[in-house]
Amino acid sequence: MKNYLTTIVIPTYNCEETIKEALNSILSQSFKNVEILIIDGASTDNTLKILQEYKTQEENLIVHSAKDEGIYDAMNKGIKLAKGDWLYFMGSDDTFYETTTLGKVATLIDGLSCNVIYGNVKIIGNTGWAKEGDIYDGKFDTLKILNKNISHQAIFYKRKFIKEEIGFFNVNYSVCSDWDFNLRCWSKTDFYYTDSIIANFFSGGLSTNGSDKLFEKDFIANILKYFKISLFNSLINSPSFRKYSKVKLLQKEYHPLRTKYNYFMKRLLNKIKR
């Protein structure tokens, strides 16, 4: 069995118009030690025919096609089947930013001891959270990742870390499971940031304007669990946190005495300052 540095997982379903661009951007990379793992959801257009044409020429291209439960189920299958030391999840309509991207990341991997490496993506088209031409979205800290996600097209994960400490994407979250996945990773390990553009992110996919009600419903409870903090922790007990108003309501509901005490002390301190 060949040892690959990175497995690139691409979920596909009826993407005959875009898959060639995605594959060509991988095959044009100067760094070649990669496994390309296509997880197809039983496409009914010409996607599988196109993939078969590429497969006859590329021994590192593996195609699995069967009905699935959506993109995150496909990504989970990729985690199970991957042989590379590192994992990268690419959309079927996304491309690497330049031909040297994988080579640069390979150099970083060789010189670092970390579990997650991330950079930026260039936005192609307009999304609900970024506009055409934006470089999304720089270096993250804990508060930033609590308020917005790192694009999965910008991230490389060490497979051993994912399999042993993180597990799989939560398929119950239809749009934001990658954000949930990244939050779990962030709570367990340091992320290494490289100030470079990893991929072109094309708008129009599920994550562009979709909403995820269950993810939003569970968000605060998940943060408390993943980061092992309370509702009064300064990370979320602050107007800077995207769900601060909900945190205040939960404080009153579950900790009424402490909430009243904190309110009283705040008023007292304000009087003293006067």
Residue range 184-224, pLDDT digits in tens: 999 999 999 999 999 999 987 665 556 899 999 999 999 99
Q: How confident is the model at residue 255 (pLDDT cuts 50, 70, 90)?
A: very high
Cβ contact 231:254 at 8 Å: yes
Give the pTM: 0.94
d(CA 39, CA 100) in angstroms, rounded, equals: 25
Note the Cα 260 to chain centre separation in Å. 39
pLDDT in tens, 17-46: 999 999 999 999 999 999 999 999 999 999
Burial (CB count <10 Å: 0-12, 13-18, 19+), residue 178? buried
Do the Cβ atoms of 18 and 46 come closer than 8 Å?
A: no
**In CATH, what number does 6-209 get?**
3.90.550.10
Q: Taking the domains of the chain in order of start, what are their residue ranges?
A: 6-209, 229-273
CB atoms within 10 A of CB 49: 10
Query: What is the reported pLDDT for 204?
Result: 76
pLDDT (0 to 100) of residue 134: 96
